[in-house]
């Protein structure tokens, strides 16, 4: 399997994506931003389609639109506007725009499929470098702001900060989330982002009771699903995201069962 | 003795309704001050203003707070049934909100001390969601104390406790306040323990504030007295 360069690329990309998604996902699930993750992934679809239309890398389009949406959603949250309805409206608009951009760019249906369901087996070396750079940035930001981000996610009432600083931190967190959604979309596609961002972190809650433990267990589940998914895709010639989704859902159901048994 | 809070002609109003009209007082470190007053007297308004002044570190407002490290335990706090962290992790989480992820040796010791001080050792590694109301309350206070604050604000921490547990909590807070030389502001409706255990009272009534020695608590500010009067009528 590893004699094929495309599989080596896929494993490198998958490993990086799984680590970043699980890391960010731990904070996302703690803050109950699962729905927002799904909305951001739809926005990422529009961003990638915009990239195809305007002729730049789809990942850059994803980052641009998800980051812009994160700023808008964060500002609404800080202004205490009930953001769920607004987020739904933004999602609907994003899907509409995505279809429009694909039509304007005369993109093939395989381009759309790649965005929606992921295309990690066709990932190029330059895309991997871009992914590595983005992943390093997200991990460095989380390391540097780990303590305030942990409090924001796990105990916002315990985060004693002035209103302005807290507002900025919320927007900063959403921007990190937007970046990780854009990164994760490369592997499982924008439709299945929550498979890697939220499911491993949600499953980890049955087994771990500390923030570091949750991050570690979440990474383990994400990596397991990704490596198994890639291997099964290679062996069966079926799409990678199908297997990753099945494995992560399986782990989640097993964690629920174990939670009930305890 | 160091001044922690200086309030100079502070006024608070909601629209046309004046809550506090012209309040001035100074509080120093190494004290346990109980904030008393009827519902709507402005206790939460005053404490919120103090907290905001401490966090924004404004130098020009009517309230000046000279505290590097502030801890606040709100009256209502529920982490929910699916909250994932253990009591130990929850306490460690609150120790610091800046800097590197890992705790120093002394910070770990502060967490361990807080767990021991508030009798949480036996359940420290259990999920906080599974703890009883009283255990959760102690965990919230332990998290605040583990921060080693100069100023600790407790908003009715004993409202769900019976008198025996209230006295035990007062004793624990008193001990930590004396050992760590902090100013503790304790909002309370129950004044039964104030005369014997607190240093000062801050009584909010008629849009004004009275500051005095706890042992000289006025009869009108004493909830035990008010309860007796209510009982008679």
More confident residue, B11 or B1: B11
Residue A138: per-residue pLDDT: 94
Which pLDDT band, with edges at 50, 70 and 90, does B224 fall under? low
Q: How confident is the model at residue B95 (pLDDT cuts 50, 70, 90)?
A: very high
CB distance from B79 to chain A under 8 Å? yes
* Residue matched to tokens 């592997």: A187
**N-to-C CA span, chain B:** 45
CB B30 within 8 A of CB B181: yes
Backbone φ, ψ for residue B198 (5° rounding): -95, 165
CATH assignment at residue A145: 1.10.3470.10
Q: How many DSSP H helices and E strands does chain A contain?
A: 12, 0
Burial class (CB in 10 A: 0-12, 13-18, 19+), B233: exposed
Which residue carries 């129950």 as its tokens? Answer: B190
Better pLDDT: B28 or A83: B28
> What is the per-residue pLDDT across B106-118, written as a single tens digit (0 to 9) for each?
999 999 999 999 9
The DSSP letter of residue B159 is T
Q: What is the pLDDT of residue A16?
A: 93
Q: Which of A74-83, A161-170, B14-23, B38-47 has the lowest mean pLDDT?
A: A74-83
- Say if residues A13 and A186 touch (Cβ distance below 8 Å): yes
Q: Give residue B231's pLDDT.
A: 53
Q: A251 near A200, Cβ under 8 Å?
A: yes
Q: Do A147 and B98 touch (CB under 8 A)?
A: yes
**From the CA of B79, how many Å to the nearest CA of chain A?**
8
Phi, psi of B12 (to 5 degrees): -135, 135
> Is residue A24 over pLDDT 70?
yes
- Record the tokens describing residue A89, joined without a space: 């409206």
Segment A87-98 shows an average pLDDT of: 85
- Reduced to 3 states (helix: H, G, I; strand: E, B; else coil), residue B36 is strand
B232 has a pLDDT exceeding 80: no
Which residue's structure tokens are 């490198």?
A: A12
pTM given for the model:
0.88
At residue A256, the pLDDT reads 94
Residue A254 lies in a domain: no
Q: Does residue A203 lie in a domain region?
A: no
Where residue A83 falls among pLDDT bands split at 50, 70, 90?
Answer: low
Residues 134-193 of B with CB under 8 A from A: 143
CA distance A258 to chain B (A): 14
Query: Sign of the C-alpha dihedral, residues B40, B43, B46, B48?
Result: negative
CA distances from B101 to A220, B108, B121 (A): 20, 12, 24
User: Comparing B210 with A121, which gets the higher pLDDT?
Assistant: B210
Average pLDDT over every residue of A174-190: 86
Q: What architecture (CATH level 2) is domain B1-69+149-233?
A: 3-Layer(aba) Sandwich (3.40)
The C-alpha atoms of residue B22 and residue B34 are separated, in whole angstroms, by 20
pLDDT digits (tens, 9 = 90+) for A201-237: 999 999 999 999 999 999 999 999 999 999 999 999 9
pLDDT at B228 over 60: no
Which of A241, A102, A246, A223 has the alpha carbon at shortest distance from A185?
A: A241
User: What residues of chain B, 83 to 102, have a C-beta less than 8 Å from chain A?
Assistant: 84-86, 88-90, 92-94, 96-101
Q: Which residues, 6 or more positions from A88, have their beta carbon under 8 angstroms from its beta carbon?
A: A39
Does the residue A83 lie in any domain?
A: yes
A-chain CB neighbours of B79 within 8 Å are: 155
Would you call A243 exposed, middle or buried from its count of C-beta atoms within 10 A (0-12, 13-18, 19+)? buried
* Residues of chain A found within 8 Å of residue B99, distances taken between Cβ atoms: 147
pLDDT band at B223 (very low <50, low <70, confident <90, very high): low
Range of lowest pLDDT (A224-233, B4-13, B17-26, B78-87)? B78-87
Q: What is the pLDDT of residue B226?
A: 57
Whole-number pLDDT of residue B225: 53
Which residues in chain B have Cβ-Cβ distances shorter than 8 Å to A139? none
Question: Mean pLDDT across the stretch B187-203?
Answer: 87
pLDDT value, residue A188: 78
Separation of first and last alpha carbons in chain A: 40
Q: Which residue has the tokens 């249906």?
A: A109
User: A256 to chain B: which residues are within 8 Å by CB?
Assistant: none
Q: What is the pLDDT of residue B30?
A: 85
Which region, left, alpha or beta, applies to residue B181 given φ > 0 means left and ψ of -120 to 50 means alpha? left
Please give the average per-residue pLDDT across B18-42, as a whole number: 89
CA nearest to A26 within chain B:
B84
Interface test mutation site (partner A, options B81, B84, B124, B139, max chain A beta carbons within 10 A)? B84
Tokens found for residue A44: 């990422």
Confidence band of B230 (pLDDT split at 50, 70, 90): low
A243 inside domain? no
Domain assignment present for A162: yes
Distance from CA of A161 to the nearest CA of B (A): 6
State the total domains in chain A.
1
Q: For chain B, which residues make up each domain, given as ranges?
A: 1-69+149-233, 79-148
3-state per-residue secondary structure call for B107-137: HHHHHHHHHHHCCCHHHCCCEHHHCCHHHHH
A202 CB-contact burial (10 Å; exposed 0-12 / middle 13-18 / buried 19+): buried
The predicted-structure confidence for A45-55, as pLDDT tens digits, reads as follows 899 889 888 88
Residue A40: inside a domain? yes
Phi, psi of B103 (to 5 degrees): -85, 150
Asked if residue B25 has pLDDT above 70, the reply is yes
Residues of A whose CB is below 8 A from B59: none
Report yes or no: B50 at the A interface, CB cutoff 8 Å: no
Tokens of B87: 């009591």
Answer yes or no: do A163 and B93 touch at CB < 8 A: no
* Domain that residue A37 falls in: 5-191
In sequence order, what DSSP letters do the residues of A156-214 get, joined into one string? GGG----HHHHHHHHHHHHHHHHHHHHHHHHHH-GGGHHHHHTHHHHHHTTT--SHHHH
Band of the pLDDT at B227, cuts 50, 70, 90?
low
Identify which of A118, A112, A114, A141 has the alpha carbon closest to the alpha carbon of residue A13: A118
- Whether the per-residue pLDDT at A246 is higher than 70: the answer is yes
Place of tokens 């009982």: B231
What is the band of A82 on the pLDDT scale with cuts at 50, 70, 90? low
Residue A38 is predicted with a pLDDT of 84
Local structure of residue B86 (DSSP, 8 states): B
Residue A199 has pLDDT above 90, yes or no: yes
How sure is the predictor about A176, in pLDDT bands with cuts at 50, 70 and 90?
A: very high
Helices (H), chain B: 43-56, 87-93, 105-117, 133-146, 163-180, 194-197, 223-232
pLDDT digits (tens, 9 = 90+) for B122-173: 999 999 988 988 889 899 999 999 999 999 999 988 877 778 888 889 999 9
Local structure of residue A103 (DSSP, 8 states): H
């Amino acid at each position: 399997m590893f004699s094929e360069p495309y599989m080596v690329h896929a494993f490198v990309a998958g490993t990086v994506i799984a680590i970043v998604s699980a890391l960010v996902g731990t904070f996302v699930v703690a803050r109950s931003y699962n729905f927002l993750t799904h909305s951001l992934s739809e926005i990422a679809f529009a961003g990638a389609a915009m990239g195809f239309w305007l002729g730049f890398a789809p990942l850059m389009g994803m980052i641009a639109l998800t980051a812009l949406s994160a700023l808008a959603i964060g500002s609404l949250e800080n202004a205490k506007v009930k953001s769920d309805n607004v987020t739904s409206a933004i999602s609907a608009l994003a899907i509409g725009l995505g279809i429009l951009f694909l039509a304007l760019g005369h993109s093939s249906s395989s381009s759309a499929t790649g965005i929606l369901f992921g295309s990690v087996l066709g990932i190029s070396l330059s895309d991997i470098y871009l992914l590595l750079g983005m992943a390093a940035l997200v991990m460095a930001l989380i390391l540097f702001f780990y303590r305030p981000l942990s409090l924001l996610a796990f105990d916002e009432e315990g985060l004693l900060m002035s209103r302005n600083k807290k507002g900025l931190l919320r927007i900063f967190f959403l921007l990190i989330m937007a970046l990780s959604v854009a990164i994760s979309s490369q592997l499982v596609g924008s439709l299945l982002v929550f498979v890697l961002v939220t499911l491993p972190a949600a499953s980890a809650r049955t087994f771990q009771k500390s923030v570091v433990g949750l991050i570690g267990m979440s990474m383990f589940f994400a990596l397991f699903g990704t490596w198994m998914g890639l291997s099964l895709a290679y062996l069966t010639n079926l799409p990678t995201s199908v297997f990753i989704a099945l494995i992560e859902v399986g782990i989640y159901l097993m964690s629920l069962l174990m939670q009930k048994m305890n | 003795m160091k001044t922690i809070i200086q309030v100079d002609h502070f006024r608070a109003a909601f629209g046309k309704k004046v809550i506090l009209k012209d309040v001035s007082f100074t509080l120093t470190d190494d004290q346990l001050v109980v904030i008393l007053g009827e519902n709507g007297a402005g206790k939460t308004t005053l404490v919120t203003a103090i907290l905001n002044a401490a966090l924004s570190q404004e130098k020009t407002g009517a309230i000046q707070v000279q505290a590097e490290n502030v801890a606040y335990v709100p009256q209502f706090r529920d982490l929910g049934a699916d909250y994932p962290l253990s009591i130990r992790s929850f306490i460690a989480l609150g120790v610091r909100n800046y800097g590197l992820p890992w705790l120093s040796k002394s910070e770990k010791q502060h967490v361990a001390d807080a767990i021991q001080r508030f009798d949480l050792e036996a359940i420290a590694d259990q999920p906080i969601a599974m703890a009883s109301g009283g255990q959760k309350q102690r965990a919230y206070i332990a998290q605040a104390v583990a921060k080693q604050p100069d100023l600790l604000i407790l908003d009715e921490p004993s409202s769900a406790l019976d008198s025996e547990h209230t006295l035990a909590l007062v004793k624990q807070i008193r001990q930590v306040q004396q050992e760590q030389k902090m100013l503790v502001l304790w909002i309370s409706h129950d004044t039964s323990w104030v005369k014997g255990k607190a240093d000062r009272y801050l009584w909010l009534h008629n849009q004004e504030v009275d500051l005095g020695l706890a042992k000289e608590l006025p009869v009108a500010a004493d909830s035990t007295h008010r309860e007796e009067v209510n009982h008679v009528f």
